[in-house]
Amino acid sequence: MTEAALTEQDTARRTAMYEEIQREFLKVAPFAILFQQTEQMGVQESVEGLSLGAAVTAAAYWNVTK
């Protein structure tokens, strides 16, 4: 499935293929996802260039514009 999605040229179809791969993985994976933080902080829509990084200490503000 992954190889087929990798070579798919249509962006929408490729996205759907990867979503299906992820849904299947969640069904058969040997672990359970209990808690997953999706955002570190709220950001107004007019803010661009903010990189929050993988950890709070990795946030970069030098490229931020509003």
Terminus-to-terminus CA distance in the chain, angstroms?
A: 41
pLDDT of 36 higher than 70:
no
* C-alpha triplet 44, 37, 17: angle, nearest 5°: 90
Choice between 21 and 49, residue whose per-residue pLDDT is larger: 21
DSSP 46-57: T-BS-B--SSGG
Sketch the domain layout of the chain as residue ranges: 1-33
Where does residue 59 rank: exposed (0-12), middle (13-18), buried (19+ CB within 10 A)?
middle
**pTM higher than the cut 0.75:** no
pLDDT of 38 higher than 90:
no
